[in-house]
Amino acid sequence: MQRLSRKLKAENKTIGFVPTMGFLHDGHISLVKKSKLKADITIVSIFVNPTQFAPTEDFEKYPRDAKRDKKLLSSNGVDYLFMPDVSEIYKLNYQTFVQVEKITGILEGEFRPLHFKGVATVVSILFNCVLPDYSFFGQKDAQQVAVIRQMTRDLKFDTDIIVCPIIRESDGLAMSSRNIYLSDQERIDALVLSKSLKLAEKLIGEGERHTRVIISKMTSEINLVASSKIDYVNIVDADNFSIVDKLIFGGKYYILIACRIGKTRLIDNVIVKVS
Ligand code: AMP
């Protein structure tokens, strides 16, 4: 992979990179489209990264369909697919991990304590393999973007991090490879995530500025759905990902939810500007 990327760079081509775990949907394809607009060559990786899953999580049963993914990527004009084996990324006696501090201690980090260590490590390895000029990530995983931005700045990776908006189903559910786990009833129940985010936007639009009030109303709405179990609902400053008590004029914030619907853990968020 590195040899290929060096050759492309020697030919003065810019490289756009879209890292994924496969089982692709329109959210992933939106990243591919952005990359194709921005870079000469688009490289997608598919790697279900074992180090970002806890032993209790769904690494083994994470959905995989390489044949379908390959077709989708070629029909969308992707130039190269990088699909390494786990044993190639983590060779025997692998010992090195990347730990971004502070920002990984809250929200997702609280409920998935080793998750971001796995993410930061694999993204570092992938950056070193692909040598991208531009790297594309979804706002769907807003905290992941914050962690990767921090890591890229701290470790001086020579790539621009470009964030793309959340792609949703027509009824509002954020697209996710994990949506396939939902039963028909759970698929309906899962709409409560985007609905409660809409409620938060409405409250803020009407002038509510206390995050405690917004979070409490969102929580009540989600709790009406029997299959739901909230991990967190919170509001952070979009610039530094710190939790805030009060929204201020001119501020930009993420409203974030992680919630189980039945056995499926879903995340969603919106960005709001207070004006
Ligand atoms: P994943 O395969 O779930 O690891 O996701 C790979 C990339 O696609 C990540 O940068 C995600 O944030 C992004 N992504 C996943 N779902 C969506 C979505 N619904 N809209 C936009 N980007 C997404």
If asked whether residues 130 and 249 sit together in one domain, one would say no
CATH number at residue 12: 3.40.50.620
CB 14 within 8 A of CB 133: yes
Q: Are residues 24 and 160 in the same domain?
A: yes
- Are residues 253 and 125 part of one domain? no
Candidate of 141, 162, 171 to mutate for ligand 1, largest count of ligand atoms within 8 Å of Cβ: 141
12 token code pair: 């003065």
The CATH code of the domain that includes 233 is: 3.30.1300.10
Q: Let me know the angle formed at the C-alpha of 38 by 34 and 44, rounded to the nearest 5 degrees.
A: 60
Residues 118 and 234 in one domain: no
Can you give the length of the chain in residues?
Answer: 275
What's at 8, amino acid-wise? L
Alpha carbons 219 and 221: distance in angstroms, whole number: 5
Could you tell me if residue 252 is inside a domain? yes
Domain count for the chain: 2
Q: Is 261 part of any domain?
A: yes
Helix ranges (H only) for 39-164 are 66-75, 86-89, 108-111, 115-130, 142-154
Q: Which atom of ligand 1 is nearest to the CA of 24?
A: 2
Verify that 37 and 77 share a domain, yes or no.
yes
In a domain, 131, yes or no: yes
Per-residue pLDDT at 227: 98
| Cα distances (Å, whole numbers) of residue 104 to 111, 116, 197 | 10, 6, 23
Examine the fold and report which residue of 130, 164, 198 is the final residue of a domain before the chain moves on: 164
Is 224 part of any domain?
yes
Same domain, 37 and 75: yes
Ranges under pLDDT 50 in the chain: none
For the beta sheet containing 252-261, the strands, ordered from the edge strand earlier in sequence to the opposite edge, are 228-237, 252-261, 264-273
3-state secondary structure 183-224: CHHHHHHCHHHHHHHHHHHHHHHCCCCEHHHHHHHHHHHHHC
Q: Locate the ligand 1 atom nearest the alpha carbon of residue 141 and give its number.
A: 12
Q: What are the pocket residues of ligand 1 if the criterion is a CB atom closer than 6 Å to any ligand atom?
A: 20-21, 27-28, 30-31, 137-138, 140-141, 164, 166-167, 174-177
Ligand 1 pocket test target in 17, 20, 73 with most atoms within 8 Å of CB: 20
How many angstroms is it from 30 CA to the middle of ligand 1? 9
What are the residue numbers of the active site? 28
Question: What distance in Å separates the CA atoms of residue 156 and residue 119, rounded to the nearest whole number?
Answer: 17
Residue 83 identity (one-letter amino acid): M
- 82, 33: one domain: yes
Residue 97 lies in a domain: yes
- What's the order of all strands across the beta sheet hosting 80-82? 80-82, 41-46, 15-20, 134-138, 160-164
37 and 134 both lie in a single domain: yes
Specify whether 39 is located in the same domain as 139.
Answer: yes
Mutate to test the pocket of ligand 1, among 65, 140, 270 (most ligand atoms within 8 A of CB): 140
Residues 139 and 204 in one domain: no
Its domain, for residue 146, covers 2-164
Q: Select from 139, 164, 189 the last residue of a domain.
A: 164
Using DSSP's 3-state secondary structure scheme, residue 144 falls into helix
Give me the pLDDT at residue 174, please. 98
- Are residues 117 and 196 located together in one domain of the fold? no
My answer on whether 78 and 151 are in the same domain is yes
Q: How far is the CA of 247 from the centre of ligand 1 (A)?
A: 28
The ligand 1 atom at the shortest distance from the C-alpha of residue 18 is: 7
Give pTM, 2 decimals. Answer: 0.98
Ligand 1 center to 84 CA (angstroms): 19
